[in-house]
Amino acid sequence: MRAAKHTLKGKKRGIYVPEGMITAMVTPFDGAGELDEKALRKLAEWQIGAGVDGLMIPGGCGEFVNLTDAERLKAVEIAVSQTAGRVPVIAGVLAATTRHAAELCKRFEGAGASAALVLTPYYVNPSLDGLFRHFETVAQNTSLPILLYNNPGRTGIDLGTEILNRLADIPTIVGIKECQRDIGLVIERMHTVGDRISYLAGDDDLTIPMYSFGCRGDVGITNLIAPEPQVELWAALNRGDWATAVDIHINFIMPIFSAVLTKNHPAPMKRMMALAGHPMGDARLPLVAPGADQEAKIKATLKAIDRFLKPKT
């Protein structure tokens, strides 16, 4: 399945709304530690060919903290060029200040991005009013559709129900990538915003629980090991084949999460990709290669999920 001009009811009709399986891309580096354009194009092509509904770059998995603004822009430009309109490219706008976020949006809009993933400001710990005005100001300074990014585990800030209810009324805020792990809170928020924004699972293991209450897709990382299982999971959910979806969740997604989602992310993911035949270079410091114990776990996990890695004949 491919993403298209999906719409929500009411004022957001006609605006691009992210849905389906969207890959949170790594940023490939070459042997000198520089952005590897050839590898990024190859990664994008692989994901598109497998049927994902969009690409997101650069986010946490894309080492945004290790990239200059020029490198972030270059990564988005390469992704937009390679996709050539076949799938949307969501640009990661992960910034601690409103001015920086607005400036990144302008640059990514000029590069041809389809939407912007805008993270809550981190470290500064703004008030609720400050959070609202942050997103409002960014939205006023770009025509890009905005996907909110709520990741309290990383930022220490949680976009609660009250502020989401206010933000959902801003016309160009079209969705949210939700990483809140308390599924009860997520259900409350999904019910409150209703069909005003598209709710996406921010972690692959949240897709099935959130789907039951109206989730429209996932911005995930397990696609980087093999995109086909995630594409099949989403198709299975939409056709009511829960057995297939749960099989993929338990036997593909969860082992990968257990192996790589530790400190040092995304260095373990890059290592796992390399061992699976998709080398993307090392992560930049302060991220380092996995230790011996994690290396062994990654190898054991790849063996355990082998049936998902083999192309269907």
Is residue 289 included in any domain, yes or no? no
DSSP string, 240-292: T-HHHHHHHIIIIIHHHHHHH-STTTTHHHHHHHHHTT----PPPTT-----H
H/E run at residue 21 = strand 20-24
pLDDT at 311: 65
Q: Which domain holds residue 55?
A: 10-241
Is residue 302 included in any domain, yes or no? no
Is residue 268 included in any domain, yes or no? no
CB atoms within 10 A of CB 155: 20
Is residue 230 included in any domain, yes or no? yes
Q: Encode burial over 184-197: b for 16+ CB neighbours within 10 A, e otherwise.
A: eebeebbeebeebb
**DSSP, res 8:** -
Amino acid, res. 143: S
C-alpha span between 16 and 12 (Å, rounded)? 8
pLDDT at 2: 37
Is residue 193 included in any domain, yes or no? yes
C-alpha span between 36 and 27 (Å, rounded)? 8
Query: Is residue 152 within 8 Å of residue 178, measured between CB atoms?
Result: no
Query: Which of the residues are catalytic?
Result: 149, 177
Residue 306 — φ and ψ, nearest 5°? -55, -40
Query: Is residue 20 within 8 Å of residue 3, measured between CB atoms?
Result: yes
C-alpha span between 204 and 8 (Å, rounded)? 23
pLDDT at 14: 72
pLDDT at 1: 37
Residue 117 — φ and ψ, nearest 5°? -95, 110
Q: Is 127 exposed, middle or buried (0-12, 13-18, 19+ CB in 10 A)?
A: exposed
Q: Is 222 helix (H, G, I), strand (E, B) or coil?
A: helix
Q: Tens place of pLDDT for every residue, the chain, 313 residues?
A: 333 344 555 456 578 999 999 999 999 999 999 999 999 999 999 999 999 999 999 999 999 999 999 999 999 999 999 999 999 999 999 999 999 999 999 999 999 999 999 999 999 989 999 999 999 999 999 999 999 999 999 899 999 999 999 999 999 999 999 999 999 999 999 999 999 999 999 999 999 999 999 999 999 999 999 999 999 999 999 999 999 999 999 999 999 999 998 788 999 999 999 999 999 999 999 999 999 999 999 999 999 999 999 766 4
pLDDT at 13: 59
Report in angstroms the alpha-carbon separations of 191 from 66, 119, 182, 279. 36, 22, 15, 41
Residue 89 — φ and ψ, nearest 5°? -115, 120
Query: Is residue 171 within 8 Å of residue 142, measured between CB atoms?
Result: no
Q: Is the peptide bond before 266 cis (omega within 30 degrees of 0)?
A: yes
Is residue 114 included in any domain, yes or no? yes
Report in angstroms the alpha-carbon separations of 308 from 61, 101, 212. 22, 38, 24
Is residue 283 included in any domain, yes or no? no
Q: Which CATH number goes with the domain that contains 185?
A: 3.20.20.70
pTM confidence score: 0.94
Q: Is 178 helix (H, G, I), strand (E, B) or coil?
A: strand
Is residue 257 included in any domain, yes or no? no
Task: Count the domains in the chain.
Answer: 1
pLDDT at 310: 76
